[in-house]
Every structure is written in C-alpha cells, then in structure tokens.
Structure 1
Amino acid sequence: MNINKIHHVAIICSDYEKSKDFYVNILGFRVINELFRKERNSYKLDLAVGEHGQIELFSFDNPPDRPSYPEARGLRHLAFEVEDIEKAVKELENKGVIVEAVRIDEITGKKFTFFSDPDKLPLELYEK
C-alpha cells in the first residue's frame, strides 16, 4: 500500500447554511462542488483547503450531538497550518470568532491555538 496524503476530511453539520457560511466566508475555503441529494434531504459541499486538501461538508436530518468536548472517541480536532498565527487569529476575531490564547507546542516549539466551528467541532491553527 502506498498512501500519499490525506485527501479529505468529512464533517457533518447541524445547520448547513450556517456551516457553509463559516467554512466559505470566515475560513475562506473555495467551493469545488455543491450537491443537494433530494432522496436524502442532504447537502454535500466540497471545499478546497489550500492546494491539495479538501473538506466534505454534509448535512443530514437530526444528526446526533458530539458526545463530549473535546475528548470524545474518534476525531479529536482538525488542524490547519498557517504562515502567521497572530494575523490569522486577528482575522478570525474580526469576523466574530472566539479564539483561545496562542500557546507554544512543548515538543515542536511551534505556536498553536484552538477555535470552534458552528457545531463546536474543535479546530486548530498551527503555525508553519
């Protein structure tokens, strides 16, 4: 087996329009494709993350809540690399996003911080 990279991350949201606005207009991800699946009453939105990554944003009727925050079994958080963390934090805060204080990774010495999407999915910014 020869795995090259992570192709995409799939996220299920509770409010499609609110999450679409967050990922497109606040985080700035480019829409690749948007599809409404009538038989499922479900949207699937493909978003470009940088040059190679993608997020698939799904809506489903009545998805269950995340069991606990932040240490639920499964995906712990999703991290995005940025060039300048202070600039990125300021941009998010100017758009009304609450961002935790910037910290230093004890192992790498790199700066990082956390914020949440509209469904409280923990998202991380990690400085390059």
Structure 2
Amino acid sequence: MLLKRIHHVAVIASDYERSKDFYVRVLGLSPVREVYREERDSYKLDLSVNGEYQIELFSFPEPAERPNYPEAVGLRHLAFEVENMEETVAHLKGHGVAIEPVRVDPLTGKMYTFFKDPDGLPIEVYEG
C-alpha cells in the first residue's frame, strides 16, 4: 500500500451556516460543491484549501457533543501552513477570532499559534 496524500478532512458543524461562514469568509477556503442529502437531512460542503486539499463540512440534525480533552486519544487539531504569521494573526483578529499567543517551534524555529472554529475545534496556523 502506498498512501499518496491526505484526500480530505471531515468536520461536523453544530450550526452549519455559522461554520460555513467561518471556513469560507474568515479562513478563505473556496467552496467546490455543496449538496443537500435529503435522506440524512444533512448538508455537505466541499471546501478547497489552495486548490490542493479538501475539507468536507457536514451538518446533521442534533449532532452529539464531543468531549473536550486537549490531550485525549484521537485527532488533536487541524493545521494550516501560512506564508506570513503577522498578516494571518491580524486577519483572524480582524474577524474577531481569539488567538493564543504566537510561539516558536523549538525544533524548527518556525512560528505557530492556535485558535478555534465555531464549535471549538482546535486549528493551528504554522508559518512555512
């Protein structure tokens, strides 16, 4: 087996329109395709990350809450590479997004920080 690349990351939103606005308007991801799946009473929005990767944003009626344990087993966070940390932080703050202090990775010397999506999913931006 040869894994070539990550195909997509799936996110379930508690408030689909609020999360759609966040991922499209605030983070600047490009909508590729949006479908309503009547049999599931669910929307699915495919979002492009710079034309290369994809995030699938889902809505479901009354999705279960996810426990918040920062160091629990499982997917820890979603990370995006950015060109300029100062511009990225200014952009996010301009949209009212609360940002953790910018830190420097001791192994690579690169800057990074975290913030949360509307449902509290931790997102990292890492200066590449």
Task: Report the TM-score range of the alignment, normalised by the length of the smaller protein.
Answer: over 0.9
17-26 vs 64-73, which deviates more?
64-73
SS at match of 2:12: strand
1:1-128 matches, cutoff 5 A = 1-128=1-128
**What per-residue deviation string (whole Å, max 9, x for no partner) do you get for residues 69-123 of structure 1?**
4223211000000000111010000011111110001111110000000000000
- Structure 1-normalised TM-score? 0.96
How many Å separate the matches in 2 of 1:73 and 1:32? 31
Distance 2:48 2:91 in 1: 19
Q: Please list every run of 5 or more consecutive structure 2 residues that lacks an aligned counterpart in the other structure.
A: none
Query: What is the aligned length?
Result: 128
Query: How large is the Cα RMSD of the aligned pairs?
Result: 0.9
2:51 match: secondary structure: coil
Q: Which amino acid aligns with 1:63?
A: P
Letter in 1 for 2:79: A
Counterpart of 1:81, as a letter, is E
When structure 1 is superposed on structure 2, of 60-69 and 37-46 the one drifting more is: 60-69
Aligned residue type for 2:74: G
Contact 1:80 1:124 in 2 (8 A): yes
Q: Distance in 2 between matches of 1:81 and 1:69?
A: 24
Runs of 4+ in 1 over 4 A off after TM superposition: none
Structure 1 gap segments, 5+ residues each: none
Question: Aligned residues: percent identity?
Answer: 60
